[in-house]
Structure 1
Amino acid sequence: MIPLLLRTLLAPRQPRQAAPPAYRQALLELPLRLLQQGGDAPLLAVLAQLGLALEAEQACLLLPKGSAAGWRRLGGGAADAPCVEHAALPAAGQVQLCRDCLARGRFHVLCGLQHAEGRKALLLVSFASRPATWQRNQLRDITRRLGEVLQAFAEDRRLRRRELSAERGLLARELHDSVAQQLGYLQIRTARLHGVLGDARQAELMLEDLRHTLHGLHRQVRELISGARLTMDGRTLRQALEASVAEFARNSSCVFSLDNRLPDDGLPAQSELQVLQIVREALANVVRHSHARQVQIRLWPTGNGFEVEVRDDGVGLPADLPDSGHFGLSIMRERAAAIGAELLIASKDGGGTRVQLRWRRP
């Protein structure tokens, strides 16, 4: 019998599986580095990695200049290789040698990268000699991967800009509907205060009214600032909701119960912050106006969407419920409309209020 060690030594060696190129790991980490660091440093670091992986002289990235014409250059190799001025530019995903440079004995490869909103970016790589087959193959792989990263990151930035613009519009309307109106009221009351200074009773009543209005105004400004600063901050919706419920529980005498049956990836990413804001506004209304003891927050998936419900056992809604003002109902409805959801607010039979948010897939 052949000993095990000898059999092992005599057995044919299995070929080792080659480790994936280092540039692939760099490209995998690129989206996170772009988010964390911002600026051009992550892209410049990846360009250096690509140059080493390809054994190239230089690598340069040409990005579109926002809404303006022309290119924004990152990395070396573009100044002495103006291929974009005389070459037919490749389509996204295509890799081609610059023929004009090749006729001059220079080896510059243009790689088409898909960017945001149909605009194109280019990767320009310079070689000392005609690139070999393995270099061309790696260039195709790099072009595909880098194009996907740039397109996804540009789309994410576009969505963030749109969401920021929508948030600013909501904040401006809330400032107009609440803070600006109350400041105008204070201005009128202050102007009238001078006329009643001779009447101690009237002056005292007016001062008390001013103090009450200023106290409410101060609270609203704090809430607006808090809402403007609110982000998911890397948390899941589940974590953000649990933190919000704990915050309201600390600052009120209500007993809150949270029943969240949505999976962590159950909502579209752009919907999570709006759902969190709507729930927080509903809880703020409960604490301020309802005199409730018990508050239930429920989230659950439906066949083609999800539903959110906040209900309390308080005094219910007033008969002449305003559409704006202290209750923030118009803002809640705008947030719901922004994600294509339906918002229902009504008094319950037997007392209390129910806020329902329903979202269906289009």
Structure 2
Amino acid sequence: MEFLDAAANIGLIERREIFSCPACNEAIEAEAAAEELCPLCGEAFADRGGVRRKFVYRLDIRGTRDIPWVIVIHGFNTHGEWQQDFSWRMGNKLKYSAPVLIYKYGLIRFSVLVRWRHRQLARQLGTTIRSAVEYARANRIYEPPDVVLHSFGSQLFVQLLSTPEFDDLKFGRVIAAGTVIRPDYNWTERIYQGRLEAVFCHCGGKDWAVPLAQYFIPGTGPGARCGFTDNAAINVMNENYGHGGCFELKEVEANLAPGGLWDRFLRWHPSTFDGDANLYRPRAWRPVWAPIRGGVRVVGVVLMALIAAIATTSISWAWFEAIEWTGLVRLL
């Protein structure tokens, strides 16, 4: 029994609690078991020793899926050091080859403030993925890749999904962590279109960065704090996670371990999360009033421009002083 319970706790099998009347021996619903009288025979449960309970276990005949290959995309203002740790542990986790494409679009800061840069980066991402898909097919890997996204990398991904020239690209399971995707994003439509199979949002209760995203980065929202309201999305909240909490080494190991959240999502059918205690139910979300967001964004752009100008001036003066000092040394 302990073995079956352990298997059910990690999603390997399904566990159901069955109730029956001690008088008529008929199965009854859980709601009826909470009443005093049997809805079928009218006898009082207490007179026969109480409602009978037993657990039944069922193996999920759909089994597990193989992870074909994975694409990992980092956030802005970072080199995505976590990508290497993830790739190494994914490679050691599996008993078969599942290539990991580590995609890096460079260290960007100010350009996240403008939409044209989003589109440019999304096209670069799409071109790289299309090339990788062709290479994978040449090596007999025909399944679409799974994707792990962090922060601004998630925004580039949804920008890619909305770019018509890349409508041919299909994806498997998608994990979004520290995401700045709008909580009301229509995942159901993307799944219906065949663009992806399922989406998992790993939320962080201490993620201070994403609530600010909608003010400065156009088209974004606090997905990692609020979760996705679309019923097709699987949301899990960890109250202790910051913006990159799930990519800390111990957390990556725990999430990818057998029965871990990411392991279950990537390898098992999404329905294994139905009724799971880890699920997070997001509330309805509405963006801040557009004029407020626009005003804050304008102020942010102006401040960034001033900082950049001051930094450039400081560098110029430092370079000038260095030249002057070198000339003085030579004169002496």
TM bucket, shorter chain: under 0.3
More strand by share: 1
- Larger Rg computed on CA atoms: 1
Higher RCO (CA < 8 A, seq sep 6+): 2
